[in-house]
Structure 1
Amino acid sequence: MNLNRYSNMQFFSEHCWQPTHKWPAHDPLWPHLKHWLTHPGSLTEQLAKHFNSKVSVHLHRQQWLTATKEEQQYLGITPDTLTNIREITLFVRQQPCILARTVIPKETLSGNYQNLLTIKEQPLGHFLFGNANIIRLPQFELTTLKTADLPIQHDLPLPSEQVWGRRSRFLLSQKPLMITEYFLPFLLHSIENEQIGKPAASDILTTSSPSNDH
């Protein structure tokens, strides 16, 4: 996968999100990437299946903050709305695959949804999926950017490459929550290898490698 093929495109950037139908469909890898970037179910389960291995969560931070202006607009909340922000990395076999940021307005965290404040290093998908009162809105938005420009605080030793991001909204009893997920180079290279028939990362890394239990 040529991760830098869109390096000169201003259409997708850290501050420019577009719906999936505007993604460059002429890219021969798009059909395979689309399956990942628009997958409506649990990304944790999808990773576990792809690598045939356990997925672990490293919590970078979770605290009460003001969402960015762009996040406020996406969620439809006012600038004075207090939000709980959770930033994590999903690891498979000690390799970072997904960097994610969840923004939850305070008014969403009522009743049983207050449990989202204490999930710590449990996968968020275990809470969101399978609950009849929680729905994921069908429209994803996508972007690309360099690893150096990732807008989430982290200490990951990432190579200087292009990454893909997606964001989506959930309704928890009709109250909003948003998740932004960045697909990191290790995962993107594994998708490429699977697409062109090379040994995938799940084959290269031995199953005896310890998982990252942060």
Structure 2
Amino acid sequence: MTIRSQLFPREPQWRENRRGTRRQLPDAVQSWTYETGSLTQRLRRAYGGAVKVSVLWQRWQTPFRTEQQRLQLPLHVHALVREVLLHADGKPLILARTVIPAGTVTFAHSNLAKLGTRPLGEVIFAYPKLARLQLDISLINPEGWTPATRGLAKISQPVWGRRTVYGLQHQHLLVSEFFLADSLGI
């Protein structure tokens, strides 16, 4: 069996953001889910320069099925998959998974493939024509994460997340972000 994620033993269940979805979310989750700017910048406003990125996984691989569908990728086409933990002062704040098709990596002159510990938001929010094309919502129970992720991110309760398809002119990428308990209070 091919491992497709360090975060999840299997693909999470997502639901499309529809009219009325926002009212169904807790207030703190609404604030993060519908944030239009960079989540990294929001964290930096709260924590200053203490926000760090730990890369958990980065490799070319076949994305999860619904990720392929959202990005309109053919079956079995590889994309760059990057999973990270944003944290500050010993607090895990956000887990993120990014899927970047090869054409988007080429368009961005490989900047997206060579992020290292730089936050993705620093790169994509610098593009003047960045557009949010689609938004999905998920609530993942603790058992929906790998044991390693549960321990690393201190997950003991359900975690809300958003999955966004961004457009950089005619190129797309998919970013899934999961709001850990310590992020929801800021």
TM-score, normalized by length of structure 1?
A: 0.73
Classify the secondary structure of the residue corresponding to 2:111.
helix
The CA RMSD over aligned residues, in Å, is: 2.4
Map 1:44-193 to 2 at 5 A. Answer: 44-52=40-48, 54-137=50-133, 139-150=134-145, 154=149, 156=152, 158-188=154-184, 190-191=185-186
Classify the secondary structure of the residue corresponding to 2:23.
coil
Contact residue 87 and residue 152 of structure 1 kept, 8 A: no
One-letter identity of the residue aligned with 2:144: D
Whole-Å Cα distance in 1 between the matches of residues 76 and 59 of structure 2? 16
Cα 1:26–1:149 shift into 2, 3 Å: closer
The structure with the largest alpha-carbon Rg is 1
| CA offset digits 1:106-135 (Å, max 9, x no partner) | 122114431111111001111001212433
| CA offset digits 1:130-188 (Å, max 9, x no partner) | 21243332x42111111331379735152420110101011123111000011112223
One-letter identity of the residue aligned with 1:134: L
Report sequence identity in percent: 29
Unaligned runs of 5+ in 1: 1-12, 192-214
Q: 1:34 — aligned with what?
A: 30
Classify the secondary structure of the residue corresponding to 2:19.
helix
Contact residue 131 and residue 168 of structure 2 kept, 8 A: yes
Deviation for aligned residue 1:53: 5.2
Cα 1:114–1:93 shift into 2, 3 Å: same
Deviation for aligned residue 1:68: 0.9
Whole-Å Cα distance in 2 between the matches of residues 26 and 174 of structure 1? 32
Whole-Å Cα distance in 2 between the matches of residues 86 and 62 of structure 1? 4
Classify the secondary structure of the residue corresponding to 2:30.
helix
Alignment size in residue pairs: 175
Stretch deviating more after TM superposition (14-23 or 116-125): 14-23
Contact residue 85 and residue 94 of structure 2 kept, 8 A: yes
Whole-Å Cα distance in 2 between the matches of residues 35 and 162 of structure 1? 17
Classify the secondary structure of the residue corresponding to 1:109.
helix
Question: Structure 1 segments of 4 or more deviating over 4 A?
Answer: none
Contact residue 20 and residue 142 of structure 1 kept, 8 A: no
Whole-Å Cα distance in 1 between the matches of residues 148 and 80 of structure 2? 15
Whole-Å Cα distance in 2 between the matches of residues 51 and 110 of structure 1? 33
Contact residue 60 and residue 153 of structure 1 kept, 8 A: no
Whole-Å Cα distance in 1 between the matches of residues 85 and 175 of structure 2? 13
Map 1:191-206 to 2 at 5 A. Answer: 191=186
Classify the secondary structure of the residue corresponding to 1:178.
strand
One-letter identity of the residue aligned with 1:148: E
Unaligned runs of 5+ in 2: 1-10
